[in-house]
A = this chain, B = another copy of it.
Amino acid sequence: MGQHRVVIVGGGFAGLAAARALGGEAVAVTLIDRRNFHLFQPLLYQVATGGLSPADICAPIRTVLRRHKNVRTILAEVTGFDLAGGRVLLADGAVEYDSLIVAAGARHHYFGNDSWEPLAPGLKSIEDATAIRRKILWAFERAEREPDPDQRRAWLTFVVVGGGPTGVELAGALGEIANDTLRDDFRSFRPEEARILLLDAGEQILSSFPASLGAAAERDLLRLGVRCLHQRSVTAVDASGVSVRNGDRLDRIETRTVIWAAGVKASPLAASLAAAAGLAVDRAGRIPVTASCTVPEFPSVFALGDMAACAGDEGKLLPGTAPVAMQQGRYAARVVLDRLANRPPPPFRYQDRGNLATIGRHSAVADIRGHHATGLLAWFLWLFIHLLFLVGFQNRLQVFLHWAFQYTTFNRNARLITTNALNPPQCSANE
């Protein structure tokens, strides 16, 4: 006993990177998650559109960490933090720590309109993805049996709100479904009659990219049948459609399928941790952190990933991406070990390796330290980098081959409407 106890909350990119970096070291690590699997979120849109199965982008946390005998995984719900007592509070107990790493992620954000969530689900969890998959497939099924042309048009209209990478990837995959996957599947309409609209609040989709790449992505989307509508903001979502502010006008779009990709908000655990430390969270619910990724005044408590407001080199907050989370996770592990060895740890420096978004199966846009790429070249880059990220997985060969296989044959076999197919899908979390 007497070993330094590190407790990690969350088995996402940050938490898992920290746990792996601490594996085999002379510390006793406990990783707490309320799910038994790690989710590879960048490919979640593929599950939402029936291209991959949930298990394809999930890895049991225990399996990822099985070789690290000093790491224990427990499935439990964290309810709060006792920073003075050095304890993480669970729904059914508590765990003591010497160092604490909290990386509980984020959920989607409706900016005060939480009542829209059942009508316009977001995409953050496996349950979200299968709920959206159900909603999309159900719309095509309903259209097949709908005699009224206006109603049918509403069932065949898909609205994606938010022109960031998630919205662009979802809209692109929807375009592929309509143009390729479902071709020949229906008898009363042609799937390419589907209307896919991407509503963006700004002047350009993918606003984190240079303007030329946003324009390239928009051209690619158009080829897949996706229309981008700029400077639109949603003012209402109801069962029959969405109301959209378009300059001075208020437009109405009749649709049965709205998908929300317009914003994220940190896990409520960010606010719990902030409250325990006497701090306030920012508008996106994130907790402020120091240059060492720790909670101010609590040097042994780290907050990482999407739930932390961490300033980058130019003082701009780092984006909520997997590379940021993974680098922070490895960094936090290093700080813990450095301190135990009485080595002064350096501050956190994010290595920006670039920015990528994929549009459908054959195209992407890439901005790698100022070098731009589009089309197939960028897509291969996207594929290569996503496989690099996977290298930490126990079964990387299996995952790699399976994905390569899915990508080349690709007819979206995971098109299951589960739960009772005949109840119009509410986007409650079942699946």
Residue ranges of A at the interface with B (Cβ–Cβ < 8 Å) = 34-37, 53-56, 58-60, 62-63, 66-67, 72, 74-77, 91, 126-127, 130, 137, 141, 144-145, 182, 184-187, 394-395, 397-398, 401-402, 405, 409, 411, 413-422, 429-431
Count of identical protomers in the assembly: 2
27 contacts between A and B (CB under 8 A): A35-B417, A36-B416, A36-B421, A37-B415, A53-B53, A53-B56, A54-B416, A58-B416, A59-B413, A60-B413, A62-B185, A63-B411, A72-B187, A75-B421, A75-B422, A76-B145, A76-B422, A77-B422, A127-B419, A394-B411, A395-B413, A397-B409, A398-B413, A402-B402, A419-B430, A430-B431, A431-B431
Q: A36-B416, A74-B144, A422-B77 are in contact. Are A184 and B67 (CB under 8 A)?
A: yes
Q: How far is the CA of A53 from the CA of B53 in the complex (A)?
A: 7
Of B91, B398, B421, B431, the residue contacting A422 (CB under 8 A) is B91
In the complex, the answer to whether A418 meets B54 with C-beta atoms within 8 Å is yes
Q: How far is the CA of A415 from the CA of B395 in the complex (A)?
A: 14
Q: How far is the CA of A411 from the CA of B402 in the complex (A)?
A: 14
Q: How far is the CA of A141 from the CA of B73 in the complex (A)?
A: 9
**Chain B residues whose C-beta falls within 8 Å of the C-beta of A77 in the assembled complex:** 422
In the complex, the answer to whether B66 meets A185 with C-beta atoms within 8 Å is yes
Q: How far is the CA of A397 from the CA of B67 in the complex (A)?
A: 35
**Chain B residues whose C-beta falls within 8 Å of the C-beta of A55 in the assembled complex:** 53, 413-416
Of B53, B72, B421, the residue contacting A35 (CB under 8 A) is B421
Q: How far is the CA of A72 from the CA of B187 in the complex (A)?
A: 7
In the complex, the answer to whether A185 meets B415 with C-beta atoms within 8 Å is no
| Closest B residue to A58 using CB positions | B416
**Chain B residues whose C-beta falls within 8 Å of the C-beta of A54 in the assembled complex:** 53, 414, 416, 418
Output the least CB separation between A140 and chain B (Å): 9
Q: How far is the CA of A409 from the CA of B398 in the complex (A)?
A: 7
**Chain B residues whose C-beta falls within 8 Å of the C-beta of A413 in the assembled complex:** 55, 58-60, 63, 395, 398
| Closest B residue to A422 using CB positions | B77
| Closest B residue to A74 using CB positions | B145
| Closest B residue to A33 using CB positions | B421
Output the least CB separation between A289 and chain B (Å): 28
| Closest B residue to A421 using CB positions | B35
Q: How far is the CA of A59 from the CA of B430 in the complex (A)?
A: 21
Output the least CB separation between A118 and chain B (Å): 16
Q: How far is the CA of A63 from the CA of B410 in the complex (A)?
A: 13
**Chain B residues whose C-beta falls within 8 Å of the C-beta of A145 in the assembled complex:** 74-76
Q: How far is the CA of A127 from the CA of B91 in the complex (A)?
A: 28
Question: Beyond A58-B413, A397-B409: 14 further Cβ-contacts under 8 Å?
Answer: A34-B420, A53-B53, A53-B56, A58-B416, A60-B415, A60-B416, A66-B184, A75-B141, A126-B416, A394-B411, A395-B413, A398-B411, A401-B405, A430-B430
Of B58, B186, B429, the residue contacting A420 (CB under 8 A) is B429
Output the least CB separation between A183 and chain B (Å): 8
**Chain B residues whose C-beta falls within 8 Å of the C-beta of A182 in the assembled complex:** 62
